Structures are given as C-alpha cells and as structure tokens.
Structure 1
Amino acid sequence: MTESTRNRSGSTTSTERESTSARTGMLERAMTLLSAFRPNEVTVSPTTLAKRAGLSKATGHRIVAEMVNLGMLERTVGGVRIGLRMFEIGQLVPRQRSLRRCAMPVMQELRDNTKLSVHLAVLDHGDTLYVDIVSKRQDLPSAVGGRIPAYATGVGKAMLAFSPSDVVSEVMSKRLKRYGPNTITDTEALRAELAEIRAEGVSYDREESSRGVACVAAPIRGGDGMLHGGISLTGHVAEIDYRRLTPIVQTAARIVGRRIEQDVVAQQEIAEAMLQATGPKPHLPNP
C-alpha cells in the first residue's frame, strides 16, 4: 500500500475508505441484480434487472457487462441469464453439497412412490431457499434457487420451528405478507403454529404459499438436534392426504438426517487419511 493511501500512523485514509466503499457497493449491487431473477425465469433484460434492483439503467447495464465478463451472467438473445460460473461456485458450498447428495436417493424414492413433487430446502435469512426439487411436473410455482419467506411455506415453517429464537424473532419483526389465501399474517398465530410443529415434528401448507398448492413437510435434523434443512411433498390441494403423508415425510427426514451425519464422519475420515498420506516421509537408509 502506498503512502498516499495510508498515513504514517498506519491508519486508513479517506482515499482508501472511499475505494473500499466503492468495491463494497459494487458487490452489493451485483448481488442485488442476481437476486432480481425470479423463479422459472431463464432470460431477463439488463434494463428489467436494473429496474427491479432499484438502479439506474446506465448503472445496471454497466454492472451487468462486468458480471458477463466474470462469467456470473451470460448473454442470450433476450437479455442475460445466470452464468455457469455461479453454478460452479454454488457446488463448492459444503452444506448444500452434502445435503443434496444425502437427500437425492430418498427424494427420488418419494417421488416414485407418491407421484408428488419433492422439495429440498434450507433456511436462509428467514427465507425458504429451494436447493433441489425432484418432480416430473411443471404445474407448480416453485423452482430450484427460488426463495419465499419461510413463514409462508410448509417446509419453511418446519425449519423455523427448530431454529434459534433470534432467527424466529427476526422473522416476526417484519410484516407478514400474504402469498396465498391462507398465509399466516398474524405473529401470535404464527408462534402458536410453530409451537405445534415443534410438538408434532411435521408442518403443513394449506394454500399458504400459493392458491391451490398444499404440502406436508418435516425438518431434517442431526442426532444433536442441529437443523440441516427441510423436505416436503408438494402438490395440488386435492392430491395431498395429510394423514397418510405425514409419517412418510417424517421418516424420509430422519433418514436424510442420519445420512448427513454419516457423510460428515466419512468426509472427516477421508480428510484425516489424506493428511496422514501427505505427512513427512520416513527416512530410509541407503542400500
């Protein structure tokens, strides 16, 4: 660092602070643009992304161009889409990778046996974030990478019920917006619902996330109670038999939870074996 950006005492000058602020602002705006993509949208124009992100057209187009150069976005005939580089980075997230790997066989079996859509989700800043969906149908609104406030979904409520109190309080501190005809918009009613979910170990969505959509969900937890995510069986209201599906989803969640624990132990053992293998070589005497 040059003397022009740091004074003799070692403290940061206004020039460096402004540069850091600019970089932070750029990252924040890039994330806002990425978040402006909506479920099931493949291509969006830079102008539309800028408008959704609350940026000027010129600023939006400039940042989009930089994101294209970095591989975060790709240009298409109608605008831009999420780039493969973002997919590659996403695959590096240990939590998501382990969760998906352990859940996939269970999800496929659930789909084959029930003919319903199977959703795998994690809780992210009070939102339900769908990390995988196994389904042969295209008539449901959810999509991989899509998000919706956790209180408005069955799988989200299942995760909220077993989350730390500060996470729940943060959700309660905001206005509970209506997404479906039966979305819970009263905080006390939501508290009561979460208490019941904790007691029963299962959560239901009765047209809360979207009109005509219902689900049965359960939290995926480890033996120590740690929350890993949630899994649900989703379909149209007429397809969901809550009583029949409840034990099926609960059993699936327990199986995935056990597999995650076993997967973590296996990964630790592999890491230790690799560490030992790359350790100092024993000294061999000259022949």
Structure 2
Amino acid sequence: MSILSSAADVLRCFSSTRHDVTVTDLVTLLGMPKSNASRLLRAMRDEGLLETVGQTKRYRPSLLLNQVGQLYRFAASLIDRSDAVVGVISDRIGHTGYISVRRGAHVIGVTAHPGRHALRVVTAIGDRLPAFASSTGRALLARLPDEEVRTLYPEGLSAPSETAPQDLEALLARLAEIRASGFAESHDEAVRGVHAISVAVGDPTTGDEVALCITIPATLVEQQERLAIIAALSEGAAEIAALTGDTRFFPLNLAFAETAP
C-alpha cells in the first residue's frame, strides 16, 4: 500500500462524530501497526494535511484541507446550481434538503439546508450512507448500467432495514423504476424514521453527478406534499440538465409520481 493510499485511509477515518484521531485509533480502525500509524500521522502533519490538537497526541484535519474543501464546493458549478434549487424548495416547504455525491458504493452529503419544522431531519454533512439503501444513492446508481451496478456489490447487499432492497435483484428492480419515473424514494432505510425523495442530474463535461434530495420525518409524509416535492425537484433538476446537456437525465413521469409511496 502506497503512502498516498494510506493517507487517504486516515482521512476517511474523520467524520461528523470523529473530529480527531490518535495512533491507537488508526490501529483499531485500519489494523495498522502502531509504529506505522505513528510515522504516518507525523508525516501528514509535517506536510500540512493534519495538525495536532493543542499539546495532545490527537490529530485533526488541517486548515489546508478545509480550504481545499471550500474550493471544491464553490468551484463545482453543478453543486452550486443544484444547491440553489434545493435551497429554494427547502425554504418553501420547511423540510431539510441536501445535495449528495456518490463515491463508489456510498453517498456523501456535501451541502444541506436544515428545515424549519419542529420535527426536522438532519444528517451530518460528510457522513457516508450505503448508496443502495438511500434515495440519493439509488437516484445516482440508476444512471449506471445494471452490469456496472453489479460490480459495486460483488458480495451482495446487507440491508439496514426491511424497507431497503434485500438483494441485488431487488435493487436493480428499484433502479428500473427510477429510470421510468424520474425520481427515487426511500422510507425508513439507511437513516431510520426518514422518508426521502431524490432526483439526480449530471454534467457530461466534467463527469460530475449529484442528487438533489428533500427529507421528511416518515410519520409526516402526506401525498399532496410528496407530489409537490417530487414536482419541484424534477423541475429544478430538468432545468440544470438542459443547461449541462445531461442526456442521462430521467424526466418526471406523473403516472408514477401519483402512485402512493
């Protein structure tokens, strides 16, 4: 394993619930020998990728990484356009909205607009969710050929809930529905107690793809509001697809949208 891939593994250890790491953490999380973990953390600190927390032996992402993250967000026009659409919808309906990207078999939220309702759904930015068990993930997976989807799950699926696809064939069936309907939904799956609606769009020039998503507490889903969210997401994403020339965009099929979730 190269030092670059090892450094990437270290960076993946950080999350919304783990803001810093120690040598012991790397030994536990990555199965790395203690001496290797110590040298790697020091090297990443010396190169400006990490910084120590005060006088402790804990390490956290550096200011440099934060600056790169900000550049990624604001330089990505597809994310900017999609985030603007979700922001307007979230503000109008009061529910939380997200923009997510797919990385392999996972999806990661890159922007969020917290809802204003007392019961609101909030998932931390940067958290990784299984793509097959989330509306954002399935919206993005539907843009792939089935054979490419199969390669992402060589060992099959481990469903987090009864409402998520239980096997690969069930996943492929749901992806076919997304291609036909133009939108994806999840209910009490990777994030329990949450109903989510998503639409995906891409930019062929850059190869970027994102999912626009609105989340609702599962107990509050009403058909009229659901249809309004589907229509708003689809309309906004269609405008972006027209601008980017996204030939893999799936337009809304009202017959599917009017079917109860």
Q: Does 1:187 align with 2:171?
A: no
Q: How far off is 1:200 after superposition?
A: 0.7
Residues 107 and 118 in structure 1, CA contact (< 8 A), matched pair in contact too: yes
Separation of aligned partners in 2, 1:170 and 1:119: 27
In structure 1, what residue type is equivalent to 2:26?
L
CA offsets 1:216-248 (integer angstroms, 9 cap, x no match): 111124699x87211111132113335533443
Point out where structure 2 has 5 or more consecutive residues left out of the alignment: 246-261
CA offsets 1:54-110 (integer angstroms, 9 cap, x no match): 212221122112112222222225722222222333345489721222123222222
Structure 1, 111-120 or 140-149: larger mean CA deviation: 140-149
Q: Does 1:71 align with 2:48?
A: yes
Separation of aligned partners in 1, 2:172 and 2:137: 14
Name the counterpart of 2:13: 36
Residues 159 and 229 in structure 1, CA contact (< 8 A), matched pair in contact too: yes
How many pairs does the alignment contain? Answer: 240
TM-score by length of 2: 0.78
Match of 2:124, SS? Answer: coil
Name the counterpart of 2:111: 132
Which residue among 48, 66, 84 is the counterpart of 1:87? 66
Residues 163 and 189 in structure 2, CA contact (< 8 A), matched pair in contact too: yes
Separation of aligned partners in 2, 1:231 and 1:166: 25
Name the counterpart of 2:211: 230
CA offsets 1:142-165 (integer angstroms, 9 cap, x no match): 322222221011111111112233
In structure 1, what residue type is equivalent to 2:60?
R
Residues 78 and 202 in structure 2, CA contact (< 8 A), matched pair in contact too: no
Q: Does 1:54 align with 2:31?
A: yes
TM-score by length of 1: 0.72
Q: How far off is 1:189 after superposition?
A: 1.1
In structure 2, what residue type is equivalent to 1:87?
N
In structure 1, what residue type is equivalent to 2:5?
E
Residues 231 and 253 in structure 1, CA contact (< 8 A), matched pair in contact too: no
Separation of aligned partners in 2, 1:242 and 1:202: 15
In structure 1, what residue type is equivalent to 2:52?
R
Higher relative contact order (CA 8 A, sep 6+): 2
Give the greater-gyration-radius structure (CA). Answer: 1
Name the counterpart of 1:173: 154
Separation of aligned partners in 1, 2:203 and 2:34: 47
Q: How does 1:104-183 map to 2 (within 5 A)?
A: 104-135=83-114, 140=121, 142-183=123-164
